[in-house]
Structure 1
Amino acid sequence: MPALYRPDPKILELGPDFYDPVEPARFPKAIARFQNHRWADRVGLGDCDDAAWVAHFCRFEPLPGNLAEPLALRYHGHQFRVYNPDIGDGRGFLFAQLRDGQGRLLDLGTKGSGTTPYSRTADGRLTLKGGVREVLGAEMLEALGVNSSKSFALFETGEDLVRGDEPSPTRSAVLTRLSHGHIRIGAFQRLAYFGETENINRLVHYCLANLYGQQPSTAAADNALRLFDLVAGATANLAASYMTAGFVHGVLNSDNIAITGESFDYGPWRFTPEWDADFTAAYFDHHGLYAFGRQPEAIHWDLAQLAGCLTVVTDASALSEIVTGWGERFEDALVRALIKRLGVPPRGGEQDRALAAALLGALQSREVAIDRLFLDWRGGRDPGAERYPSPTFRALATALAGRCVPVIHHYWSDPDPCSMHIDEVEAIWAAIAERDDWGPFENKVAAIRRMGEAMTNDVQAPA
């Protein structure tokens, strides 16, 4: 049974200091290219017909009982470690809020929906290629178990866009994403920048109550410290999941780190084929600040910026202690994430640490691609010394002794893993750009979801 639609525009409780009402762009066309019916069912929108999808997710007519007008959220942020007070929602807005079947408050936000007060000199638009890439990236991360936003709808909009970093003119699109909150570290930075202490407390209260499901107390300092501790844990999990997935976000600025620790906003992302610490995603990341191996450092740095904002409302030494302990949290999260992707039951303590160390040794040897390793060794299976003869893999086999579990989903018998490297992304886009052939894109989404099913429960399923 589809979930019931449960609108709940909680953002209005914060008041107008946190957002600006805006109007969506008017597009000449509305061609549906991707509709996430799976998640539409989960949030009570599964009964929408084609006309309703266009009306709400390309024309952005309000959903019943929801926000009467879109809201561009206000925030600042460090961009490549340089503070920028001139940003905010520049080509997107919060369109609606609603509850899923578990009662979580989710946001429907946009990308490419037109200009806002924070667009500066930009046109507020999204290229179709950028939209396709975001769908592919979000689907892959969801399948790999990363706490990620979901691409909800992608419409081609019929405009010709000029971009300096790709052949122009290029096709245009508007994307709607489903997220567990759009509040960023940068939102707190903006409030601290302007000295809005009461608004910091108000935002802390909102995040605790609506994003973490906790009852705030009457002590503002306690609330801020409690929220920071929760964010520290969530961001440690986020960093660990990126590493385990072999994912490089590309732009881990403080305005791209959600308070919930949910990954979102996929621009120049890539997956590294091998465990290459220096692998970068963004062509403009000239110094490798957000390279694969530096992502935990980047997220930790962003967390420290949040701590600085909260020092005006809670104890600085307590915040500092949590920041200092983040590295240990990340290491613990990485152990859990590696063992989960390997598909063996956790045992805890030193046994899991030893297994994770052996697995990391195999990955860091770069003798085999990340996705290939996890396909071949899923469930603790040792493919044998003939295929994996090196000492690093024999050490992994030893660490796995007695921990093998059956895997029966057909995916684990596939000859090749489901991967998402840049050459395949470009091939999928080339089919669209050159022949308007969406078959490779649709087939890839189906293949990713099949892998996700295998990783979720390892149950028998059709090939």
Structure 2
Amino acid sequence: MVEKPQPHQDTPAPILTLADWIGDPVDPASFPETKLRWRNDRAAATVELDKLSDAEWVAHFGRFEPLPGNLEKSLALRYHGHQFRVYNPEIGDGRGFLFAQLRDDRGRLLDLGTKGSGQTPYSRSGDGRLTLKGAVRELLATEMLQALGVNTSHTFSIVETGEELWRGDEPSPTRSAVLTRLSHGHIRIGTFQRLLAHDEPGHMRELVEYCLTQFPGPPPPENAPDRDHPAIRLLHQVVERMADLAASWMVAGFVHGVLNTDNMNISGESFDYGPWRWLPRWEPGFTAAYFDHAGLYAFGRQPEAVGWNCAQLATALRLIAPSEGLIAALERFGPLYAEHLRRRWLWRLGLKPQGETQDGALIAACERAMQESGEQPDTFFHTHRGGRAQSEELARLMEDYDPVLSPHPYRQEEPPQSMLIDEVETIWSAIDERDDWEPLLEKVAAIRRAGEAHGAPPEPAAQDR
């Protein structure tokens, strides 16, 4: 394991310490063409790749020629997972792989992973490809989430690949692409579930130590049972990250759509975007996936779904850790979620938190106001930011709050940035029908400007951890 971050360009990829059992070497697909459509130089600058020429960029992120001094062979990662609460041992990276690992400008280990890069041993009947529309949708989702303070993967690169793809859930044939994401790791809850299913306690211990080293977090509370056990420490960290992730989605009005355990990154980072949606109105039963007939992953059920997934991680860790400590870690999810929700809600309103009871009453009143008015959540938060209440109840509740706003002209603009499905379809239609990328680029620029106005959400206080 790597104990201390080193300059990332000279550091051997740490995943190699686990490579012989965590993934399978694979080759990328050979595409008819590689046309660069998006390069995220803002993200690339954090890992010193922003100086690549377009030709070099396409060589690495269209043809996947290895980065110097990095992984010589890409790895399709192995994992299992609960998919809509049904356990599936037949999955893994089916249309992507881990391409490289780098250190960012803060010393953190980051992965460059792919989507649509070709078939792997886990593709089953799939073609291993990604539609260009799917890549565009992921770019829009990650940019909007980042602007709203959500810990998310970054859409690093989109290269159109010149193939015609047939899909049953959208007009076909449709254009193809390969996407590269920059993410703080790709270790999933399903990675641990696979080790339990195969009864591999030695590898489980190695993976726990790897995660503690590469994704460090705060220690468990002083009174937590078995707090010094590595697996217990890891579960405490994951529970806190997942509680914050669930809270951040709720405050953003975002519906991920497919909260399976193989889509849950133990770093607490939101990633792998499929049928996502933003709320057109505050509706707890709103679903994103057309195939989610029971509403298992509806907007209002997301915290419960994320907590359930944490319980599956705890179940896997029972292979090497005592139950009492695992249960104690899981019991923190609810209180942590409530605290993160309060912190993030007040941040988005531009107000300084006043206390659990007072803040809770304000949040409940905001939810009632959105449900009664039908106002879109982005509009509600923009309108009420800084205590600009429009109803007597909210005005009364907000009068004791201090605004914590920094000046930015975006706050005076109407309407605020949002990401509703009609606008997404309009942006895609311009690309699909006229090969016009300007609406997409303009939207990304506008979202980033909104993100500058929002700023980063405050970190949780030490006593809340």
Q: TM-score range by the shorter chain?
A: over 0.9
Corresponding residue of 2:435: 436
TM-score, length basis structure 2? 0.92
Residue 258 of structure 2: SS of its match in structure 1? coil
Residue 379 of structure 1: SS of its match in structure 2? coil
Corresponding residue of 2:4: none
**Is the contact made by 1:275 and 1:366 (CA closer than 8 Å) also made in structure 2?**
no
In the aligned structure 2, how far is the partner of 1:50 from the partner of 1:315? 52
**Is the contact made by 2:212 and 2:234 (CA closer than 8 Å) also made in structure 1?**
yes
Equivalent in 361, 379, 393 of residue 395 of structure 1: 393
Equivalent in 280, 285, 294 of residue 292 of structure 2: 285
Residue 386 of structure 2: SS of its match in structure 1? helix
* 1:140-151 correspondence runs (5 A): 140-151=144-155
Q: CA 1:16 to 1:214, structure 2 compared with 1: closer, same or farther past 3 Å?
A: farther
* 1:172-251 correspondence runs (5 A): 172-212=176-216, 222-251=229-258
1:99-137 per-residue CA deviation (whole Å, 9 max, x = no partner) reads: 111111100000000011000110100000000000000
1:307-356 per-residue CA deviation (whole Å, 9 max, x = no partner) reads: 10011211112212222331121111111110111122234443433333
* 1:318-333 correspondence runs (5 A): 318-333=325-340
In the aligned structure 2, how far is the partner of 1:354 from the partner of 1:305? 33
**Is the contact made by 2:117 and 2:128 (CA closer than 8 Å) also made in structure 1?**
yes
Q: Which amino acid aligns with 2:408?
A: H
Residue 34 of structure 1: SS of its match in structure 2? strand
Residue correspondences, number: 445
**Displacement of 1:275:** 1.1
Q: Which amino acid aligns with 1:225?
A: I
**Displacement of 1:144:** 0.4
Corresponding residue of 2:379: 372
**Is the contact made by 2:350 and 2:405 (CA closer than 8 Å) also made in structure 1?**
no
In the aligned structure 1, how far is the partner of 2:11 from the partner of 2:455? 29
In the aligned structure 1, how far is the partner of 2:172 from the partner of 2:89? 30
Q: CA 1:348 to 1:248, structure 2 compared with 1: closer, same or farther past 3 Å?
A: same
**Displacement of 1:5:** 4.4
In the aligned structure 2, how far is the partner of 1:104 from the partner of 1:344? 31
**Is the contact made by 2:187 and 2:265 (CA closer than 8 Å) also made in structure 1?**
yes
In the aligned structure 2, how far is the partner of 1:355 from the partner of 1:5? 48
Corresponding residue of 2:84: 80
Corresponding residue of 2:323: 316
Q: Which amino acid aligns with 2:452?
A: E
Corresponding residue of 2:425: 426
In the aligned structure 2, how far is the partner of 1:76 from the partner of 1:367? 40
Instruction: Please say if 1:453 is aligned against 2:452.
Output: yes
Q: Which moved more, 1:190-199 or 1:309-318?
A: 309-318
1:260-313 per-residue CA deviation (whole Å, 9 max, x = no partner) reads: 110000011000111101111111111111010111111111111111001121
* 1:327-366 correspondence runs (5 A): 327-366=334-373
Residue 126 of structure 2: SS of its match in structure 1? coil
Corresponding residue of 2:280: 273
Structure 2 segments unaligned to the other structure (5+ residues)? 1-6, 220-225, 458-465
Instruction: Report the aligned-residue RMSD.
Output: 2.0
Q: Which amino acid aligns with 2:116?
A: G
Q: Which moved more, 1:350-359 or 1:408-417?
A: 350-359
* 1:99-178 correspondence runs (5 A): 99-178=103-182
In the aligned structure 1, how far is the partner of 2:145 from the partner of 2:405? 24
**Is the contact made by 1:278 and 1:293 (CA closer than 8 Å) also made in structure 2?**
yes
Residue 251 of structure 1: SS of its match in structure 2? coil
1:423-461 per-residue CA deviation (whole Å, 9 max, x = no partner) reads: 111111111111111111111111111100110179xxx
**Is the contact made by 2:38 and 2:159 (CA closer than 8 Å) also made in structure 1?**
yes
In the aligned structure 2, how far is the partner of 1:233 from the partner of 1:371? 26
**Is the contact made by 2:80 and 2:92 (CA closer than 8 Å) also made in structure 1?**
yes
Structure 1 segments unaligned to the other structure (5+ residues)? 383-387, 459-463
Equivalent in 40, 59, 62 of residue 58 of structure 1: 62
**Displacement of 1:408:** 2.2
**Displacement of 1:405:** 4.3
TM-score, length basis structure 1? 0.92
Q: After the TM superposition, which parts of structure 1 deviate over 6 Å for at least 4 consecutive aligned residues? A: none
